[in-house]
Amino acid sequence: MPTFRPSALLLILLPLALPLTVFGQAATAAAPTDKPRTVAGTDADQSLREFDKLIAPAVKQARRTLPAAKKRFLAGLPAGQAFYLTTRIFDADGKYEQVFIRVQEWTGATARGLISNELNLVQQYQPGQSISLPESAVLDWTITTADGREEGNFVGKLIDSLQN
């Protein structure tokens, strides 16, 4: 069985801090950014399964702490903070990207927000496009502050640690 190599996976992680405006509130200018990575492999399905296995503990931690983060969002975040969910979006041909959704509203188990990063592979979606997603599709969550701090981002921090 081959071992997982980050270079064997097609994965895009893009900046958190884009100048999107949500309900008149600009995205936090000093929000931390992830380092974009495009990595291709010959067996994308196998690579995705291996990658999912690698990030599973971080996804589990994100999902375990999501209810408390959701509660904070619903109560209203302080000025200068933004709430993002990380999920994957797929084209009809199976291409996908892992994206940040800046949450605008959350009703029941469905969140709605704006795609908050540039897209490189998926053609059926656009940056700034409004999409809805079920909580079951959430891989991670991040709250950013105006001074560049962040909470959550468990998957992003794991990926960063593997690349260093």
pLDDT tens digits for range 57-108: 999 999 999 999 999 999 999 999 999 999 999 988 888 899 999 999 999 9
The whole-model pTM stands at 0.76
- The boundaries of the domain holding residue 79 are 6-163
Q: What is the mean pLDDT of residues 1-13?
A: 34
Specify the number of domains making up the chain.
1
Q: How far apart are CA 152 and CA 112, in angstroms?
A: 19
- The reported pLDDT for the residue numbered 88 is 95
Residue 58 lies in a domain: yes
The region, left, alpha or beta by phi > 0 then psi within -120 to 50, assigned to residue 132 is beta
pLDDT (tens digit per residue) in 118-157: 999 999 999 999 999 999 999 999 999 999 999 999 999 9
Please list, residue by residue across 105-124, b when 16 or more beta carbons sit within 10 angstroms of its beta carbon and e when fewer do: ebeeeebebbbbbebeebee
Residue 1 lies in a domain: no
Residue 47 lies in a domain: yes
For the ranges 25-34, 41-50, 131-140, 151-160, which has the lowest average pLDDT? 25-34
